[in-house]
Amino acid sequence: MLGNFTYCNPTRLYFGKGAVENLKSELANYGPNVVLVYGGGSIKKNGIYDTVVKILKECGKNITEDGGVMPNPTTEKLNEGARIARESKADLLLAVGGGSVCDYSKAVSVSAYCNEDPWEKYFIRFEEPSCKTIPVGCVLTMVGTGSEMNGGSVITNPAQKLKIGHVFGPEIFPKFSVLDPVYTFTLPKYQMVAGIYDIMCHILEQYLSGDDDNTGDYIAEGLMRSLVHSSLVAVKDPLDYEARSNIMWTATWALNTLIAQGKATDWEVHMLGQAVGAHTDATHGMTLAAVSMAYYRTILPYGTHRFARLAENVWGVDPAGKTPLAVAEEGLAAMLDWMKKLGLVLHLSELGVKDDMFEGLADSTAINEGGYKKLTREEVINIFKQSM
């Protein structure tokens, strides 16, 4: 059954080849001071930096740079970004990069004029901003997180070994996002497939929960079918525009709140994966891939019906003459086969996890209640062990 909800997603998306040209009309909506936020500098190699700076200058903007955003943006970097935004009197934070850069920009938006410690206020106490915030715009160069059309922002506190996400309301969503599939062509294959798995995981976190009939679950199945199809094309030919554009579009709808409306969600794979990220700084999508199978095998007995539906409707398993459990397990086997075809990391040992880290990882793992089984600490440790 659909529970009650309020839905509002005001982000304006410019999608397609050359979509960055739309920046010109969008920038007219904001004042002169723009903070250009980006990551490790890949946008300087592939020309996107030059393109964006040229447009900003043509539009008469004052540019302040905030580069060097790391894959797992830290509290220290956040405090620096808040200072830069405040001191430059930013009218717009323009995030040019992937999910980390966009997530970070949203955190800067709510932190620049925050009178308290932003980490404590937003990521420990999960409060909403009570201060002035700064509009965020996004030029996406990496696909996966869905950050271009949602309020999600994940920040890492290295001292506390915690990586925590806050989902802000529509007023913090990017005002606009530029989605040009061609911008993702130069991404290394490792990053591309990590992003693809992040998308799949986002959908499954929302799909593997609840027993009820819900239109959102049917939409989720459609998104997964599209993703499986396009990912297998893209992994063979990363320059296939059709596949890359569908992956980009799927990523947006996988996590822009639609398929979660009115139903329970899980998010435990993200809790496990984010613990790994906090301890190893590994690529987000790969941390999810490495822990997924052990987690799904742990909860499958508690949600067999839904895993069987997934097997049938997404992985093409023929249920004739089989028990739901057999169908469900066949579906997981098909999913594992797909993960191997993509070349995902399937072992935590490849991400820097050591045998003496399990207790610390468990300490960093939040336990959710929305899925088919609330994990015990022992189960959490076993999942990490089985994922090695």
In whole angstroms, the minimum distance from the beta carbon of 14 to a second copy comes to 6
CB-nearer residue toward a second copy: 110 or 220: 220
Distance of alpha carbon 122 from alpha carbon 165, whole angstroms: 9
Decide the pairing of beta strands 152-157 and 162-167: antiparallel
Largest pairwise CA distance in the chain: 68
Which tokens go with 135? 């509009």
CB-nearer residue toward a second copy: 12 or 322: 12
Among 24, 218, 237, 352, binds a second copy (CB under 8 A): 218
Other beta carbons within 10 angstroms of residue 301's beta carbon come to 12
Indicate whether 262 belongs to the interface with a second copy (CB under 8 A).
Answer: yes
Q: Which amino acid is at 347?
A: H
Indicate whether 76 belongs to the interface with a second copy (CB under 8 A).
Answer: no
| Beta carbons of 141 and 184 less than 8 angstroms apart | yes
Indicate whether 14 belongs to the interface with a second copy (CB under 8 A).
Answer: yes
In whole angstroms, the minimum distance from the beta carbon of 96 to a second copy comes to 19
Q: Which amino acid is at 117?
A: D
By residue count, the chain amounts to: 388
Among 92, 219, 300, 344, binds a second copy (CB under 8 A): 219
Among 253, 295, 358, 372, binds a second copy (CB under 8 A): 253
Segment contacting a second copy by CB under 8 A, of 27-35, 75-83, 237-245, 338-346: 237-245
Place of tokens 């030059």: 50
Among 120, 211, 242, 350, binds a second copy (CB under 8 A): 242
Indicate whether 115 belongs to the interface with a second copy (CB under 8 A).
Answer: no
Indicate whether 212 belongs to the interface with a second copy (CB under 8 A).
Answer: yes
Residues 6+ apart with CB under 8 A from 240: 233, 234
Indicate whether 41 belongs to the interface with a second copy (CB under 8 A).
Answer: no
Which tokens go with 167? 């989902």
Indicate whether 130 belongs to the interface with a second copy (CB under 8 A).
Answer: no
| Beta carbons of 156 and 163 less than 8 angstroms apart | yes
| Beta carbons of 166 and 123 less than 8 angstroms apart | yes
Distance of alpha carbon 97 from alpha carbon 164, whole angstroms: 20
Segment contacting a second copy by CB under 8 A, of 79-87, 153-161, 253-261, 380-388: 253-261
Indicate whether 221 belongs to the interface with a second copy (CB under 8 A).
Answer: yes
Please state whether 177 falls in left (phi above 0), alpha (psi between -120 and 50) or beta: beta
Among 208, 220, 293, 294, binds a second copy (CB under 8 A): 220
User: Which spans of this chain sit near a second copy (rule: CB under 8 A)?
Assistant: 1-19, 22, 181, 212-216, 218-223, 225-226, 229-230, 241-243, 245-246, 249-250, 253, 258, 261-262
